[in-house]
Amino acid sequence: MKESWDLIVAGAGPAGCALAGKVARRGAKVLLLEKEQEPGLGRDWVVDVARGTFEDAEVPEPSPAARWNEPASTVLVSSDTAHVIELPPSPLLPVRNGLYVGELADWAVAGGARLRAGCTAKGAVVERDAVRGVTFSGRDGKEYTAEGPLVADCTGMPGVLRRSTPGAWGMAAPVGETETVLARREVWKIDRKAARKEVEAGRASDGRRVDRAGAYGVYSIQTCYLDIKGGFVDVLVGVKPGSGRKGADGLFEEYMAGLPYATEKIFGDGGPIPIRRLLSSPVCDGMLVLGDSACQVVPAHGSGTASALLAADLAAGTVLEALRRDEYGRAVLWEYAHAFMSGRGAVLAYYDVLRLHTDNITVRDLDRLIEKGVLDADLVYSGLLPEPPALRPSRLARQAYRGLASPLQLIGFSLAGLKAERTRRHYRRYPESWSPESFASWEQRIP
């Protein structure tokens, strides 16, 4: 059985729901496919989204039920907990991803999109060097085909559709293990009496979120937010693959075993997140790639919700223009590619260079950066938002001199800052229009 649509969106996460809702509201016939039995069942954990994202992306804000509790204060501590940075009020809004995705899906359906849950995308239908549809399995296990001139791959890190395209298109490369971070974040009920005893003994903080940097390696985090009045503890563990045989799940279980007041899981999830450089071309003839599938993730902390919503807003405008013109080639869809890559993509690429540089330093180096104030609140929040760096490489080098132990480390820190800035400027010059020659030249010159 085949059906024809104006736009087929595979994956009802933040990117897919936002895109489907925006395009359907303008009168287009949109199909939204979701592998779970209902949107929001997968990755039901807390995500931190920059305030203002929902307004900028022109999507509904999370309801009060979907907003997660905010701590009274937040601190960043060194791996040995000996050094503490007091952070100002967070520019990020904690959101319960599962509930918010469900709300976005309802918004998309109310706008006219057709949702089919329990349907798993299998691959793109490629005809005459263009994507013409999607094959998927239904709830009954049978395989179906949906046809249409435009397809959006919002399937997350697996990139089911883009990876089924011909290799010559340059979109099919998998995300390697070294290009991911493993994370688990869960919220648990607590025994308030036992929690108070831990606080009184100085082994826990009430109402304060404690982010321990480098807990399991340079690129790792251990976060604990205990709220006795609220009756919960919110814990996050993030590590790179190979940081230990236990992985994120094992380290999470080990940490939770040391919290005598944690009694029962309320919600939470875990899994791999892509943190590699963005997909160089998020479009091809007949298809756009958004969100984690395009590796549009903030390298500093692995969250992709804000990027997904902003990408959906840009992609929706491009899709509607393509439908108006009845043209669906890469040249038309390039408007989305250029808008994202030269804007937010340039900042993501900047922080990806700094992320890669962490492979060349040790946890002791990281602790010293915190101790000497090189890694301060401004730098932390610039990476979390993310936003264009407020510090130029020369100033970064001067700051680093206060905390780095050797000339080699100082040189490495300075070179990383210079290369990151060069990379950001290069992405700002992403080709404004599509041509194989201009794109190949741009890609070859990525610093």
Q: Which residues, including other chains, have CB under 8 Å from residue 201's CB and lie 6 or more apart?
A: none
Question: 24 and 30 in contact (C-beta within 8 Å)?
Answer: yes
In sequence order, what are the beta bridge partners of 76?
85, 211
Distance between CA atoms of residues 439 and 79, nearest Å: 43
In sequence order, what are the beta bridge partners of 186?
235, 268
Is the pLDDT at 267 greater than 60? The verdict is yes
End-to-end CA distance of the chain: 48
Q: Residue 182 carries which side chain, given as an amino acid letter? A: L
Distance between CA atoms of residues 105 and 217, nearest Å: 38
Mean pLDDT of 5-21: 98
Write down the pLDDT at residue 359.
83
Beta strands 150-153 and 287-289, pairing class = parallel
The pLDDT confidence band at residue 30, using thresholds 50, 70 and 90, is very high
CA 244 to chain centre: 23
The pLDDT confidence band at residue 112, using thresholds 50, 70 and 90, is very high
The pLDDT confidence band at residue 245, using thresholds 50, 70 and 90, is low
Q: Whose structure tokens read 């041509």?
A: 435
Is the pLDDT at 392 greater than 60? The verdict is no
Write down the pLDDT at residue 145.
96
Write down the pLDDT at residue 273.
95
Question: 38 and 115 in contact (C-beta within 8 Å)?
Answer: no
Beta strands 7-10 and 150-153, pairing class = parallel
Write down the pLDDT at residue 402.
56
Is the pLDDT at 244 greater than 80? The verdict is no
Distance between CA atoms of residues 215 and 75, nearest Å: 14
The domain ranges of the chain are 2-65+97-175+280-342, 181-272, 348-428
Write down the pLDDT at residue 36.
96
Kindly report which listed range (112-126, 204-218, 361-375) carries the lowest average pLDDT score.
361-375
Q: Which residues, including other chains, have CB under 8 Å from residue 408's CB and lie 6 or more apart?
A: none
Kindly report which listed range (159-173, 295-309, 322-336, 367-381) carries the lowest average pLDDT score.
367-381
> Which pair of structure tokens corresponds to residue 216?
């399991």
Mean pLDDT across the chain: 92
Q: What is the CATH number of domain 2-65+97-175+280-342?
A: 3.50.50.60
Question: 276 and 352 in contact (C-beta within 8 Å)?
Answer: yes
Question: What sign has the CA pseudo-torsion 305, 311, 317, 320?
Answer: negative
Distance between CA atoms of residues 427 and 447, nearest Å: 10
Secondary structure E strands in 317-398? none
**Model confidence, pTM:** 0.94
pLDDT digits over 151-205, tens only? 999 999 999 999 999 999 999 999 998 899 999 999 999 999 999 999 999 999 9
Write down the pLDDT at residue 371.
85
The 8-class DSSP code of residue 63 comes to P
